[in-house]
Every structure is written in structure tokens, then in C-alpha cells.
Amino acid sequence: MSASAQSTLAVADPPEASCLVSVVIPCLNEAENIEECVGIALAAMEKAEIPGEVVVADNGSEDGSAELAELAGARVVHEPLRGYGSAYLAGFAAARGRYIVMADADLTYDFNEIPRFLAELEAGGDMVIGNRMDNIHPGAMPWHHRYIGNPLLSNFLNLLFHTGVSDAHCGMRAFRREHLERLDLRTTGMEFASEMVVRAAKAKLDIRQLPIEYHARGGESKLSSFRDGWRHLRFLILHSPRHLFILPGAVIATVGALICGMVAAHIDVLGRQWAVHTLIGGSLMLIVGSQIVSLGLCALAYATYFMGEHDPWFERMSRRYRLEHGLMLGATVALLGVAMVAVIMAQWIHSGFGNLVQERVAITAATLVVLGTQIAFTSFLLSILGLRRR
Ligand SMILES: Nc1nc2c(ncn2[C@@H]2O[C@H](COP(=O)(O)OP(=O)(O)OP(=O)(O)O)[C@@H](O)[C@H]2O)c(=O)[nH]1
Ligand SMILES: [Mg+2]
């Protein structure tokens, strides 16, 4: 870091002059590595003349890690609630620097890279994330993380949230502390790494990436492939109602509607006519699909009104359509079904209550009544969710 950059910052904000950077390290039983991590971080900052501190967020270590960190010169904060995210949240809350650099307490990341990360922030970046994928040392990452877990989860994250971050689970990152409020991080486990990237992209922060090396770990890994992989996946799908509900629901409902239409119109497909059993299948898909879409709309409403999320499509729809529109649509669809039932009843009475052979019409009528009722009551629920919106 240049001397001029430091002096500009010192003049602009005197209280931070003595602490430009907080290096935050989460720690759970890392006695083998923690002293060296703290030592390298402090030495790297001293060498680059960066005024800073090292904060170790200890997560209830039972091997004396906290004491060793303190002896090595770190400020230790204690977080009893277990988890990578919990540890970081406690560390961030205690950090005093203008910038925060974060990395594991296991010597997999090189703290000598701190000045490179800071240079990107000083050049205007809001968040800098390492990319380990081209520089993984032998034994540093199991093959199923390297070639399956990490690429799959990173690609899925980008498919849903378009962050452009190649190595979304890299643990060495830096960001401006002032962004913590906008990031509003909450998760407690390993999915914290995904949450940071997703929240930063949603907040439209300038995210930059730096190629870094990934070394073999000292001490025992705390990562559990399946439990932590699932926690990442769960976080991603729960934060994307459009992909979890709306898209699959709409596809299922559309296929169901096409099947119902094909049977009702006696259209030949694959060289044969399809009858009542196929209609039941189509009707089932139409009902299930529309139910999933209804749940998705409620999830989007909740996310928009109570979680501060922005979904342009949902916001456009909720501006355009009101409760009354939903009620009118629901009533029309349900009444169409009721009218079909009335016609069947009339025929039945007319035939002197004889045998009824109106299965197709009856199934279609029942489906329409279910759909209409669902549309009307989903509209009510959406309105209720919107009552307290700000
Ligand atoms: N998993 C986990 N890590 C914690 C916890 N509390 C603090 N940590 C620290 O969080 C960091 C990440 O854990 P690691 O075991 O290194 O997980 P990882 O980096 O994904 O996996 P490795 O490549 O094996 O290092 C380490 O510095 C841990 O000491 C916790 O409750 N669970
Ligand atoms: Mg690690």
C-alpha cells in the first residue's frame, strides 16, 4: 500500500488511522496452525506498513487455540454458537478496520496476500474474492470437491444469481466494513460463504476476483462434504423462489393443461386417442403445478415485503394486479366448472336419474372448481402478506 494512500485515509477518517485493516480469522480447534496464521498476518501488515489488527473469532475451541492466538498478538472474541458463519459474524462485529480481510485458521491461505487484496479495494472494489481453482497444491482439496462439489455449487449459484464469481466457496476475501449493513449476513454454517457472494451481488457491489494459491491444510478439516454441501444448496434454493416454485410449477401446470386439452379435443397423439385416465393425469398435473406456483407467489411476496428482496417481475405483477383481479379470475374459472356440473346434473335429471357417462366433463369441471378456488384464496393470502408492507 502506498504511503500517500495511507495518509489520505488518515486525514479523511482519523479514528481509523490506527486500524485500516481487520484480519478476521474463524477458529475451531486449530492449535496446530493458529499462532502461525496470526504471526504471518501481523508480519505481512507490518512489512507493507498497513496499520491493522488480527481478530480471532474462537468458536469454543478445546485445544487452547484461543490462548495461543492471544499470545501471538491477536484480539480474541468468543462465540459459543458453533458454525463458520457464527464465528465470522462475531469476528466482523468486533472488527474496527475500514477494510476486513477474512481467511481460515488452517494455513491453506497465504496471509502474505493481504496487500494484494487491499490494493483491489483501494482501486475501487467493494469486495475481493480469491480464486483457487487454477492453483491448488497437491493434497489441498479432495478430487470430489475440486471436480464435483465446488464447480457444481458455484455454477448453480451463478445460474440462479448471476454473480460472476468463479470460486464461490473460497475462504479468503476482503471487503469494506461499511458494507456489512447492506450485506445483512445471517447464516451460521458453511453456507455463509454462499450468502456473502449472493448478498453482495444482490446489493450490486463491485466484486473482484484474485487468483490465489490453495495449500494443504494443517490440522483436521472441519468441513463435512455432504452436510455442508447440502447447507449451501439449501441456502441457494430457499433464496430463489422463482426457480424453486414458479418455473417448475409453471412447467408442470402447462404440461397438465396441454394433456387436458388434448384429451378434451380428442386429438390423436402417438397414433392413438387418449381418454379418462390420461385426463386424470393431466388434471392432477394442472392442479399440483398451479399449487406450486401459488406457493411461489406467496414466497416471493414474503421475500419482497419482509426480506427486502427485489424481484422486478413480481414487483411489476403486484403493481399491475390487485386483489379484485384475482377474485374475478378465480370466480370466473370456478363458475365455469360449476356451470359444467349444472349441465351434467340437468342431463342426469332429464334422463330420469339413469347411468351417468360424463367422466371427461366431470373431471374437467372438478379441476376448474379447484383451480378457481385456489386462485381466489391465493389472491387473499397475497393481499394479507402485503398488508404490512413498507
Ligand atoms: N466447519 C466449521 N469451521 C469452523 C467453525 N468454527 C470456526 N471454524 C473455522 O472456519 C474455518 C473453515 O473450516 P475448515 O475446516 O478450514 O473448512 P474448509 O476450509 O471448507 O475445508 P478445508 O479445505 O478442509 O480447510 C477454519 O478456520 C475453522 O477453524 C465451525 O463451527 N465449523
Ligand atoms: Mg480451510
Q: What is the pLDDT of residue 354?
A: 85
Q: What is the pLDDT of residue 7?
A: 37
**Which ligand 1 atom lies nearest to the CA of residue 28?**
29
Closest residue by Cα to atom 17, ligand 1, is 223
Buried b / exposed e over 135-173, threshold 16 CB at 10 Å, is ebeeebbeeebeeebbeebbebbbebbebebbbbbbbbb
Element (H, E) at 266: none
Q: What is the pLDDT of residue 54?
A: 98
Q: Could you report the per-residue pLDDT of 275-328, keeping only the tens digit for each? A: 899 999 999 999 999 999 999 999 999 999 998 888 899 999 999 999 999 999
Q: What is the pLDDT of residue 267?
A: 87
Task: State the residue for C-alpha cell 481453482.
Answer: 133
User: Is residue 8 scored above 80 in pLDDT?
Assistant: no
- Determine the Cα–Cα distance for residues 1 and 49; give it in Å rounded to an integer: 7
Looking at domain 3-238, its CATH class is alpha beta
Closest residue by Cα to atom 21, ligand 1, is 223
**Which ligand 1 atom lies nearest to the CA of residue 57?**
7
115 contacts: CB under 8 Å, gap ≥ 6: 1, 44, 48, 50
Ligand 1 binding site (Cβ under 6 Å of any ligand atom) = 26-28, 30, 59, 82-84, 87, 104-106, 108, 171, 190, 217, 221-223
Helix axes 114-122, 34-47, angle to 10 degrees: 50
Sequential DSSP letters for 226-239: HHHHHHHHHHHHHT
Element (H, E) at 129: strand 127-131
- Determine the Cα–Cα distance for residues 284 and 255; give it in Å rounded to an integer: 11
For 41, the grid coordinates are 498476518
In the chain, domain spans? 3-238, 241-389
Q: Give the number of other Cβ atoms within 10 Å of residue 21's Cβ.
A: 29
53 contacts: CB under 8 Å, gap ≥ 6: 19, 21, 22, 23, 74, 75, 95, 96, 97
Q: What is the pLDDT of residue 251?
A: 98
pTM of model > 0.75: yes
Gap from CA of 42 to ligand 1 centroid (Å):
21
Q: How confident is residue 4, by pLDDT bands cut at 50, 70 and 90?
A: very low
For 241, the grid coordinates are 423462489
**Which ligand 1 atom lies nearest to the CA of residue 82?**
31
Residue of 61, 106, 133, 191 with the most ligand 1 atoms within 8 Å of its CB, for mutation: 106
Gap from CA of 26 to ligand 2 centroid (Å):
10
Q: Could you report the per-residue pLDDT of 32-41, keeping only the tens digit for each? A: 999 999 999 9
Nearest Cα neighbor of 136 from 115, 95, 111, 108 is 108
Closest residue by Cα to atom 15, ligand 1, is 222
For 302, the grid coordinates are 414474503
- Determine the Cα–Cα distance for residues 247 and 64; give it in Å rounded to an integer: 50
- Determine the Cα–Cα distance for residues 253 and 128; give it in Å rounded to an integer: 42
User: Is residue 144 scored above 70 in pLDDT?
Assistant: yes
CA angle 174, 179, 183 (to 5 degrees): 95
Gap from CA of 151 to ligand 1 centroid (Å):
19
The pairing of beta strand 173-176 with beta strand 21-27: unpaired
Q: What is the pLDDT of residue 16?
A: 53
Gap from CA of 337 to ligand 1 centroid (Å):
58
Q: What is the pLDDT of residue 15?
A: 47
Closest residue by Cα to atom 25, ligand 1, is 221
Residue that wins the pLDDT comparison between 188 and 271: 188
Closest residue by Cα to atom 32, ligand 1, is 83
Q: Could you report the per-residue pLDDT of 72-123, keeping only the tens digit for each? A: 999 999 999 999 999 999 999 999 999 999 999 999 999 999 999 999 999 9
For 254, the grid coordinates are 402447462
Gap from CA of 311 to ligand 2 centroid (Å):
34
User: Is residue 3 scored above 60 in pLDDT?
Assistant: no
Gap from CA of 156 to ligand 1 centroid (Å):
22
Closest residue by Cα to atom 13, ligand 1, is 222
Is 251 exposed, middle or buried, given 0-12, 13-18 or 19+ CB atoms closer than 10 A? middle
Establish how many alpha carbons lie within 13 A of residue 123's alpha carbon, considering only the half-sphere containing its beta carbon. 12
For 277, the grid coordinates are 385416465
Closest residue by Cα to atom 18, ligand 1, is 223
- Determine the Cα–Cα distance for residues 199 and 309; give it in Å rounded to an integer: 10
Is 94 in contact with 3 (CB distance < 8 Å)?
A: no
Residue that wins the pLDDT comparison between 101 and 270: 101
User: Is residue 21 scored above 90 in pLDDT?
Assistant: yes
Mean pLDDT of the chain: 93
Element (H, E) at 177: none
For 352, the grid coordinates are 330420469
Is 244 in contact with 165 (CB distance < 8 Å)?
A: no
Task: State the residue for C-alpha cell 379484485.
Answer: 324
